[in-house]
Structure 1
Amino acid sequence: MDSVDLHVLRAAIDWLEQGHRVALATVVKTWGSAPRPPGSWLAMRADGQLAGSVSGGCVEDDLIAQLRDNRLATDTPGLIAYGVRKEEAARFGLPCGGQLQLLLEPRPDIRVLRAMLAAIERRELFARRVDLQTGDATLLPAQRNDTLQFDGKQLVTIHGPSQRLLVIGAGQISHFLAQMAQALNYEIIVCDPREEYRQGWQVPGVQLLACMPDDAVKQLQMDANSAVVALTHDPKLDDMALLEALKSPAIYVGALGSRANNAKRRERLRLFDLSEAEISRLHGPVGLPIGSRTPPEIAVAILAEMTALRHGITLQAAPSRQPEAQLRQVALKLA
C-alpha cells in the first residue's frame, strides 16, 4: 500500500513526462482548525486532475482555477493564504477560525521529483529544501526527529519513513499490518526466527530478520519514533522481545492475546528486571477495542491505537455491548 508521497510523486512525474503543465502546492503553516497539517501537499494539472490534498476540496478547486487561467505564470515559488477573512473561510469550506498558508511551485524540476521517488522507493528518510527566491529544490539527509521548517525564505519538508515499526512474527496479521503501516510512512522490520514463516512472507519493501526478537530490539536501538508489536502468540519469542522493548524509549509496545493471556504475560514479565512503570507501558491486548476479529481488522485496531498515542490522544475502552436477546429482555421488563 503506497504512501501519500508516492502517490503524489508518481502522478507528477507521469504528467510531466506526458507534457502536461504541473504545479505543486504544500501546506506551510496553519492556524486554528485547518483541515490538513503542515507538510501536506498535492500535484495538480491545468485540466483539473489532482494527486494529494491540502484541504477538503474547495481550496484545490481555486488552485486549479489559478493554474488554468495562467495566474501561476511565474517560474518561482510563491505563497498564498486561505481563510484569513471569515467570508473567505466560508467560501473555501475551512473550519471555523481555520487558516492555511501554501507554497506554490508552478514549475517543479522533474529531475528532483525522480530522485525523491527513487529515495522513497528505497525507504530512505530525507529532506527537500526549496529556495523561494530561486525556486531551486535540493535533497538532504534527514533524521527521524526532524520536522518541517519554514523561515519565509526556505521551506524544508521531510519525506520517507519517519516512523519505524518492528513486528515480531511473520504471520497473517503481520502481512496486513505491514501493508497498512507503509501507507502511514512507517519503516517496517519483521523479525521471525522461524524459517517456515519467513518463507511465506510476501510484502515488498519490508526488511525481514531471522535473528531472535530480543536481539532485533537491541540491534535496532528503538527510539521515541519507534514501535514494537509482538504477534507470534509464542511466549518464547514475544516475551523476550517485550522485555527489551519495554525498557527502550519506543513510543508503543503491544502484544497480541486475550486479556487473560496478557495478564499472565505481565506476571511473567515481573519475574525479570522490569519496573511496574515499564510493565504498565505494555498495550495488551494490542489495539483499540473495536470488536476486530479478522487479521485486517486487527491490523486496523493496532494502527489506530498507535496513531492516537503518537498524536497524544488518550482513548477509553469501548463500553461492552449486551447481546440483542438480553436487550430485548430488558425492554420487556421495563414495558
Structure 2
Amino acid sequence: MFKKVVITTTLAGTLLFAPSVSEAALGDRTLYNGMSNSDVTELQNVLDDKGYFDYHRATGYFGTVTEDGVRDFQRSAGISVDGVVGPQTVSALTGSKSSSSKSSSYSSNSGTVRYGDRGQTVKNLQSQLKSKGYYSYSVDGVFGSITKQAVRNFQSANGLSVDGVAGPNTFGALSGAASASKSSSSVKSASTSNSSLVSIAKQYIGVPYVWAGTTPSGFDCSGFLQYVYNKAGESIPRTVASIWNATDSVSSPSVGDLVFFETYKAGPSHAGIYIGNGQFIHSSSSYGVTISDMDNSYWAPRYLGAKRV
C-alpha cells in the first residue's frame, strides 16, 4: 500500500510540474529542418518580424524556406551559419534589432541583387515581377528562395541567362518593351477541357507509386502527369524540371494547371495537377496517386509556383 501511495504521489507531481507542449517557448529545444511543432511557428513569426521568413504565413513546419531564413539571419548576425536554431541563434534572434532598423547595403540604385539581399531594390524587383505574373507574395524586400525562383522563371521565359540573379539585363527586360517581357495576355488562358483532364486524373486514384513508372500499373510523379496529359491530348516532357521549363508561369493556379514543389533537391522536384478548392492530384511516393491539400504542413512551405501547359 505504501508503494502505491508513493507511486501515485510521484506521478501526480510529474503531471503537475511537467511543462506542456503549449507552454514551450522558443529556445527550449534545438530546432532544425524536418521538425513540426509550435516552437517552429514561433520561430517563423520571429523571423518574419525581422524580415527573414519568405512565406506568406507561419506553418509550423521547418522546411527549406524556414532553413533559408535561419541561414540568412545567421549570416547577417555574424554567427555560425548552419540553418539550425540553437542557443546562439535564439540569443541573436531575441536580442537583435528588427530588420526595419537594419541598414541595407543595397540601395535603390544598386545594379544587381541576388539571393540573401534585402532592401528597396529587392522591393522594386518583386513589384515588377508581380505586375508581370511571376511573383504572387508580399513585396517585402527580402530576396529569398521564392523571389529567386520568380526571377529564374522570368529569365527563362524571356531568353535570358537563367541564374536567379537580377542584374542589368533582367531589370532591363522587366522594364523594357512589352515584346521583351511576358504580358499577362501572352499566357494561355485555362483550357475549357481542364475539367476532363481532372476527370482523367481521378480515374487513377490509388494506383501505386513506382519509381520511373509511366503506366496505370504504377506511376512516378512526372510519369503520372505525362500519362494524364497525353490521354487529354496534350504532350508534355517526361521530367518535372523539363515540364517546369516548358510551361508558362501563372500567378495563381486554375483547375488543370500544374503546381510545383521543391522537395528532395533545390528547384522543382515534384508536381501535380490543381483540381480546385486548394487541392491537387499527384503521384505521391508515400500514397501513390492521391489528392492533397496545398496548405498542409508538408506541401505549403515547399510550394514553388503554378504553370500552364
TM interval, shorter chain, is under 0.3
Higher relative strand content = 1
Q: Which has the higher helix share?
A: 2
